[in-house]
Structure 1
Amino acid sequence: MPQDNKLSDKRILVIGLGRFGSSLALELVHHGWEVLGVDSSPRVVQIFGESLTHTVIADSTDDEALRQIGAAQFSRAVVAIGTHLEESILTTSQLVDLGVKDIWAKATSRRHGRILEQVGAHHVVLPEHDMGERVAHLVSGRMLDYVELEEGFSLIKTKAPQTLIGRSLRETKVRQRFGITVVSVKRVGASFTYATEETVLHKGDVIVVAGRTKDVERFAESS
C-alpha cells in the first residue's frame, strides 16, 4: 500500500493491549481502521484475536521481531505499554529506527514522557494524568467540560453566567475583561452554533470558551 498520503492510510500498529491500548484499538476498528494489535502475552492476544483486524504475539523490544511483523510498513504506531518503562522506551526507539513517521506513546509520568520525546516519539499521551486534571477541573467549579488543547491553552464548556445574560458579547466586553473568546453557544433544546460579537446570551445557554488556561479558569470561577 502506498505510504505517501498519510491521511488515506487507515492502518495502524498498536503495541500493548492493556486497558488503554485495547480500548484505543477497538475504537479505531469501530471507526474503520485496520489495526494490528501486538502484545507479548498469548492470553491477551487470544482475547482480542477476533475483535481486531490482526493480532500477533511479539516482543516489541526486539527489532527483528518488529521487522518480521512488518512494523516498518506502518506510517502510524501507538506504543501503549505503560507499566514497564524500559519496554516502552525501547519499543519507541525501535519504531523510530524503523522509520515509522507518526509515533504515539503512552507515558505514566511527565518524566517518562520527556524520555519518550527524547528517543523520538512524535506525540506523548498521559491518559491518567490528563483525565485526573480534567476531572479535577469539573468537580471543583462550574465547568461542564474541560479540554487542554496544549499546555497553557484550554477549552471549557459552562453555563452562561448571569452577568452576560441579555447583552451581546460585544457589549459585555468579555474578551477584554477576561482575555477569553466565546466560541459557540447552545440554546436550550437546540444544537451548538458559532458565536459572534452580536450573539446575545439567554438564561440556560451553554457556552464553549477558549483561552489561556488561567483565564478560562478565572472566567469559570466568576460565573
Structure 2
Amino acid sequence: MVKRITTGPRKNVRNVAVFGLGRFGSALAVELVEIGIEVLGIETDEDRVQRHNGLLTKVVRVDPGVNEALEQLNVKEYDVCVIAIGSDILASILTAAYLTKIGVKEIWAKATSREHGEILEQVGVHHVVYPENDMGRRVAHQVKGSTDFIEVDETYAIIKTTANQHIIGTRLGDSEIRKNYGVTVMAVKRGKGNWVNADSDTIVAEFDEVLVAGPTKQAEQFGLLN
C-alpha cells in the first residue's frame, strides 16, 4: 500500500529522476520513458549504467553521498524524484534527506520495511511505497480467488474477478448487489472483447470478467462468492 501525503493537485509531470536501477527502479524508469516522460537514471553500479544506456533519457553513475554530482545534475529542477534504493537503507535515507534539504518538489521512495518507511516519512519523503508488500498482498488475493486486486487506500479496493451467480443473467440495477454486498460493478469484459463500462441496464453473462469496487472487506468477500 502507498502511504500518501497530500501535496495539492496533480501536476503535469514532464521529467523524473530515479535513484537506483535495480529491478524496481529499472522497471519504473523504463515504463516512465514508455509513457513519454523524460527520465534521469542515477546509479552507483557501472554495469547497470551501461545496461540502461539508450533505454533512459540520460543515465549517470554517481557514488553514494557525492552530493556535488547531484548538484551538477540539477536534480532539484525535476518534477519528481524517486528513490528506488532497496539494498542500502542508509543510502536511501541519506538521499531522501538530501533531496528534502535542497527542496525537491515531490519525492517518492521505496521502503523495505515499515521502520524504513517511517524514517523516510520523517525526513520529508512525500510518498512511500512498499513494492514487496504490495505484490504479496495482490498474490494473496489471487490465491483466494480474485484474478487481481488493487488497494486504493486502507479502506477501499477494486478487484477483477469472474462473474458469480449473484449478478449473472439479470440487470445490475435489479441485482441489489450494492444493498446486499456493499459493492459496485464498474465494468464488464466478455470473452476476448474490450472492457465496457457497466450501468444499471448491463446484464452480466456466465464467464464474464467484472471489475468490482467497494470497501476492502466487502470487495474481498464478493470476489469469493460462487
Aligned equivalent of 1:127, options 115, 118, 131:
131
Please list the CA deviations of residues 69-127 of structure 1 after superposition, one character each: whole Å capped at 9, or x if unmatched.
21112121110000111111110111111111111111111221122122111111111
Q: Structure 1 residue 180 and structure 2 residue 183: aligned?
A: yes
Q: Which residue of 1 aligns with 2:147?
A: 144
**C-alpha distance in 2 between matches for 1:222 and 1:32:** 41
Structure 2, unmatched stretches of 5+, are 1-8
Q: Does residue 171 of the first structure (1) align with residue 178 of the second (2)?
A: no
Aligned position for 2:76: 72
CA contact (8 A) 1:183 1:209 kept: yes
Three-state SS of the structure 1 residue aligned to 2:152 is: strand
* Structure 2 residue 99 is the aligned partner of structure 1 residue 95: yes
Is the counterpart of residue 105 in structure 1 residue 100 in structure 2?
no
- After superposition, the Cα gap between the structure-2 partners of 1:152 and 1:35, relative to the gap in structure 1 and judged at 3 Å, is same
- Give unpaired runs (5+ residues) of structure 1: none
Residues 186, 211 of structure 2: 8 Å contact kept: yes
C-alpha distance in structure 2 between counterparts of 1:163 and 1:27, whole Å: 38
Alignment-derived partner of residue 162 in structure 2: 159
Higher relative contact order (CA 8 A, sep 6+): 2
1:164, 1:201 within 8 Å by CA — same for their partners in 2?
A: yes
* Residue number in structure 2 paired with 1:199: 202
Counterpart of 2:210, as a letter, is: I
1:10 aligns with: 14
Is the contact between residue 141 and residue 147 of structure 2 (CA under 8 Å) also seen in structure 1? no
SS in 1 for 2:224: helix
TM superposition shift of 1:172: 1.6
Alignment check: 8 A CA contact 1:61 1:94 kept: no
Map Cα deviations across residues 122-165 of structure 1 (whole Å, 9 max, x no partner). Answer: 11111111111101110122x12111111221100111111322
Cα offset, 1:200, TM superposition: 1.9
> Aligned residues, how many?
218
TM-score by length of 1: 0.90
Give the Cα separation in 2 of the matches to 1:72 and 1:166: 56
Paired-residue identity, %: 45
- 2:122 pairs with one of 118, 121, 126: 118
Root mean square deviation of aligned Cα: 1.8
38-47 or 84-93: bigger deviation? 38-47
**CA shift at 1:6, angstroms?**
7.6
Describe how 1:15-54 pairs up with structure 2 within 5 A: 15-54=19-58
- Structure 1 residue aligned with 2:4: none
